[in-house]
Homo-oligomer: A and B are copies of this chain.
Amino acid sequence: MNASSISMKGGGYYSQNTQGAKHVIDRAGENLMAKFSELRLPAGKRPFSIVDYGAADGGTSLDLVSQIVHEIRQQSLEQEITVTYTDLPHNDFSSLFRMINAESDGSATYAQAYSNVFVSGVGTSFYQQLVASASVDIGFSATAMHWLSALPGTITDHVHAVGAVGDEWQTFRNFALHDWETILLHRAKELAPGAILVMANFCIDEEGQYLGNTGGANMFDTFNLLWRDLAEAGVITETEYQATAFPQFYKTKDEFCAPLTDPASPVSRSGLCLEQAYTGLTKCPYRAEFEREGDPAAFADAYVPTLRSWSETVFMNGLDKSRPIDERRQIVDEFYQNYNTLVRKAPEHHAMDYVHTYMVVTKARD
Contact = CB atoms under 8 A, between A and B. Distances in A.
Interface stretch (A119-127, A235-243, A245-253): A119-127
Interface string A115-135: 010111111100001111111
B89 A45 contact: no
A92 B129 CA distance: 23
Contacts of A133: 45, 80
Given A89-B103, A133-B80, A122 B119 contact: yes
A92 B89 contact: no
B123 A121 contact: yes
A280 to B, nearest CB: 32
Contacts of A94: 89-94, 123
A358 B309 CA distance: 48
A259 interface: no
What size tier do the contact residues of chain A reach?
20 to 34
A46 interface: yes
Interface string A18-50: 000000000000000000000000001111000
A119 B124 CA distance: 8
Contacts of A93: 93-94, 97, 121, 123
Contacts of A47: 132, 135
Contacts of A97: 89, 93, 123-124
Contacts of A349: none
By CB atoms of chain B within 10 A, which of A91, A101, A120, A131 has the most?
A120
Contact of A121 (B90, B98, B121): B121
A312 B118 CA distance: 31
Contacts of A84: 120
15 contacts: A45-B133, A80-B132, A82-B132, A89-B100, A89-B103, A90-B98, A90-B103, A93-B93, A93-B94, A93-B123, A97-B124, A116-B129, A118-B129, A120-B131, A121-B122
